[in-house]
Structure 1
Amino acid sequence: MGLRVLVTGASGFVGSRLCPALIDAGHQVRAMTRSPQDYTGQGEAVGGDVSIPDTLPAALADIDVAYYLVHSLDSGDFVQRDADAARAFGAAAAAAGVERIIYLGGLGADDEKLSDHLKSRREVEDLLGEAGVPVTVLRAAIVVGHGGISWEITRQLVKHLPIMVAPRWVNTRTQPIALPDVIRYLVGVLEAPEARGATYDVGGPEVLRYVDMLKRAAVIQNKRTLPLFIIPLLTPRLSSGWLTLVTDVDFETARNLIDSMSNEVICHEDSITKVVPGELMGYDDAVRLALAERAAELEEQDAAKTPENEGDEHSRRSPAK
């Protein structure tokens, strides 16, 4: 019989893929969301909000392991908000008798001057375990998959710009990982006793600069070249404002992400590959998969908007005469 698992952020980018994967692996999944009445994914929907401690005991009751997949990049005070939420969640998990928390955090060398975003991710690791529950941490850089904010920025920049004026952070090295590999690792550490309380760097098979990611994504999207001009003095605030003009990412999220792009985020150890072995998906294949999933979703949305369906919907909503 599988474990009883809680997934926070169950309707989000990673959580929505993790829930069905856990169920397929034989586990009982409780999907925590702020609006359980609207939840359409897999698992038993339960209401809960990490920023409201009183909602957590019921969500965590009788749970063996909890996944923590939430953060607050879209707010100016995200550091404090994430710290308060992690501390409250860890305390509620300890009170409920949860055996372990699994957290998806961020890469970045401890000896480097980390951005507020990455420092916050590192702080959350500690705060989740402050009340005594062992925490398994997976540290990742950009996760390439349909719906991910970092990938959406890449896709939209490539799509909308004939040329790109960029700051020098485009030459920073990163180690993107495909969403299916992140899900495989998240499920795998649940079933590995040696992962209890351990921290792992997780990344794809290639170390790339951001500019390499943009140019390769451009080729895959049938743009032969993506002319790029680097302006060293382009400030984070100007970069953030520019990003909000050419993508649908809000200013606060853009600012917090861009602040992190001066930090090199690559793996410094590969012990996760021994705990959860398997072939990693390359960047180009991850991009193709993300684009294919987006295309399939758009096609499904278009099918739902056919005149026949719109007429049926109008008839159902119109009052009888």
Structure 2
Amino acid sequence: MRVLVTGASGYIGSRLVAALLDDGDTVVAASRRPESLDRFDWRAEVETVALDAGDTSSLADAFDAAGDIDTAYYLVHAIGQEDYRSQDLRSAGQFAEAAAAAGVRRIVYLGGFAPEGEALSEHLGSRADVGEALDVDGVEVVWLKAAIVLGAGSTSYEMLRYLADRLLVLPLPSWLNRPVQPIAVDDVLFYLLASRQEVPAGAYDIGGPDVVPYRDLLFAYVDAAGLTRIGVSTPGVPTGLAGRVIGKIIPVPDALAEDLVHSLHNTMTATESRIVDLVGEKEGGRTTIDEAMRRSVLGTVGEPPGVRASKDPLRLAHTDAVWSGGDAIGIRRYGVAASSDETWSLLEALGARKMLYSWPVAAVVRTNLDVVGGVSERARSVIRRVRGGSNDEHGGDEEA
């Protein structure tokens, strides 16, 4: 098939281009600045066009240059920018009209869950707006709805990574008890590919095999990374305040972090599984949370590969956002200034990483066990040793 991919330089888009090429499609990669695609290892295998979804003239020129497109993937999002909801709504409508005029048969859109009966966050409301705006006469639309996407380089995953890496004690607001059904990026790619032609037009929920509270997702990363962390219940903390604080202590752009955290008060679980009934699952089944975390933490030594060269889309790619990969990779790539907290980065550069990341929380556990809201597996072993009065070389009074 001849396929157009908007947002080709983004996390999902760049991996989708590689997957489409592997599947034998002819890919036209679209970007407002086509030269920005030169850094990708698939660049020589694709055609490129300049496309600005907010500009009707640019859209008309892009579809004219792209030729006969069977399927157009819409992966454009202005989240983190001022007044992004109105921008997204306008851009989606213009894109759909231009695609219909160019004779595009189908648009495939990846958005978020929109739980009924709940007041949607600005982010999720915007995602729902876009899905509706893309539905115009003359072109089919497949709208895939997902919650958190797991994989190194994904914004949601990187936020989990930085919080768990940087905070020895993890605050656990009550809204982290709400259920979430994340999906690994390899499963996202499977359903995006299937949506070219195997899936009838319509809206479909996509999710991984596990439904857990948000807090369990955080500790799944902690355990996969081999960290020792303890969670402390912090009831009464609203998502808005949490988003502002998180935006200041991790290197993900402030506005982006705030918008995503504010969505955590919504229920992010699938309400139906029709797409699984239609196209099944990828070989080996859907990726579990534990498996996704295990694969995502790999590859922290040496420079990450290109998207096409990588054997696993959950691994970090060197073209992912500059703030991706954690502090250790940031220091290797860009020096101490890569971190949003130069003091923290300097400590890590001087060798404090091992001490800070593995410090047992025995003293905290002994003085205030009742406030504990969640514990990593390594922390659980420390608690057991402390409670049992263990005096081996890794526990007991020596630890305190």
Q: TM-score, normalised by structure 2?
A: 0.71
Which range moved further: 106-115 or 281-290?
106-115
Partner SS, residue 261 of structure 1 = helix
Counterpart position of 2:251? 248
The alpha carbon displacement at 1:236 in A equals: 3.1
Among 165, 169, 176, which residue is 2:182 paired with?
176
Counterpart position of 1:234? 237
Q: Distance in 1 between matches of 2:298 and 2:60?
A: 39
Q: Distance in 2 between matches of 1:248 and 1:131?
A: 42
Q: Distance in 2 between matches of 1:153 and 1:187?
A: 27
CA deviation profile, 1:141-172 (whole Å, cap 9, x unmatched) = 00001211111101111111100224222111
Listed as ranges, the matches of 1:173-252 within 5 Å are 173-192=179-198, 195-224=199-228, 226-252=229-255
Partner SS, residue 9 of structure 2 = coil
Instruction: Return the index of the structure with the highest Cα Rg.
Output: 2
Among 80, 86, 89, which residue is 1:74 paired with?
80
The alpha carbon displacement at 1:55 in A equals: 1.2
> Residues 101 and 299 (structure 1 numbering): CA distance in 2 closer, same or farther, change over 3 Å?
closer
Q: Distance in 2 between matches of 1:219 and 1:142?
A: 19
Counterpart position of 1:45? 48
User: Do the aligned partners of 1:90 and 1:131 also contact (CA within 8 Å) in 2?
Assistant: no
> Residues 77 and 162 (structure 1 numbering): CA distance in 2 closer, same or farther, change over 3 Å?
same
User: Do the aligned partners of 2:5 and 2:29 also contact (CA within 8 Å) in 1?
Assistant: yes
> Residues 78 and 295 (structure 1 numbering): CA distance in 2 closer, same or farther, change over 3 Å?
farther
Among 103, 106, 114, which residue is 1:108 paired with?
114
Q: Distance in 2 between matches of 1:33 and 1:299?
A: 22
Q: Count matched residues.
A: 299
The alpha carbon displacement at 1:252 in A equals: 1.5
Q: Distance in 2 between matches of 1:122 and 1:294?
A: 36
Q: Distance in 2 between matches of 1:37 and 1:7?
A: 15
Counterpart position of 2:101? 95
User: Do the aligned partners of 2:247 and 2:258 also contact (CA within 8 Å) in 1?
Assistant: no
Listed as ranges, the matches of 1:1-321 within 5 Å are 3-40=1-38, 41=40, 42=42, 43-61=46-64, 62-192=68-198, 195-224=199-228, 226-278=229-281, 279-293=285-299, 295=301, 297-298=303-304
Letter in 2 for 1:197: A
Q: Distance in 2 between matches of 1:148 and 1:294?
A: 15
Letter in 1 for 2:17: C
Counterpart position of 1:317? none
Letter in 1 for 2:222: A
The alpha carbon displacement at 1:24 in A equals: 1.6
Which range moved further: 85-94 or 48-57?
48-57
Q: Distance in 2 between matches of 1:15 and 1:217?
A: 24
User: Do the aligned partners of 1:108 and 1:266 also contact (CA within 8 Å) in 2?
Assistant: no
RMSD of aligned Cα (Å): 2.0
Which range moved further: 175-184 or 164-173?
164-173
Percent of aligned positions with the same letter in both sequences? 37
User: Do the aligned partners of 1:67 and 1:103 also contact (CA within 8 Å) in 2?
Assistant: yes
Counterpart position of 1:313? none
Partner SS, residue 273 of structure 2 = coil
> Residues 266 and 79 (structure 1 numbering): CA distance in 2 closer, same or farther, change over 3 Å?
same
CA deviation profile, 1:193-235 (whole Å, cap 9, x unmatched) = xx232211100000011100111110111113x2122322223
Letter in 2 for 1:73: I
Q: Which consecutive unaligned segments of at least 5 residues does structure 2 have?
A: 307-317, 319-328, 334-400
Q: Which consecutive unaligned segments of at least 5 residues does structure 1 have?
A: 306-321
Which range moved further: 160-169 or 263-272?
160-169
> Residues 73 and 25 (structure 1 numbering): CA distance in 2 closer, same or farther, change over 3 Å?
same
Q: Distance in 1 between matches of 2:81 and 2:133?
A: 20
User: Do the aligned partners of 1:4 and 1:63 also contact (CA within 8 Å) in 2?
Assistant: yes
Partner SS, residue 137 of structure 1 = strand
Q: Distance in 2 between matches of 1:202 and 1:18?
A: 16
Partner SS, residue 297 of structure 2 = helix
User: Do the aligned partners of 2:239 and 2:264 also contact (CA within 8 Å) in 1?
Assistant: no
User: Do the aligned partners of 2:239 and 2:265 also contact (CA within 8 Å) in 1?
Assistant: no
Q: Distance in 2 between matches of 1:177 and 1:294?
A: 22
> Residues 109 and 250 (structure 1 numbering): CA distance in 2 closer, same or farther, change over 3 Å?
same
Letter in 2 for 1:33: S
Q: Distance in 2 between matches of 1:102 and 1:124?
A: 12
Letter in 2 for 1:56: L
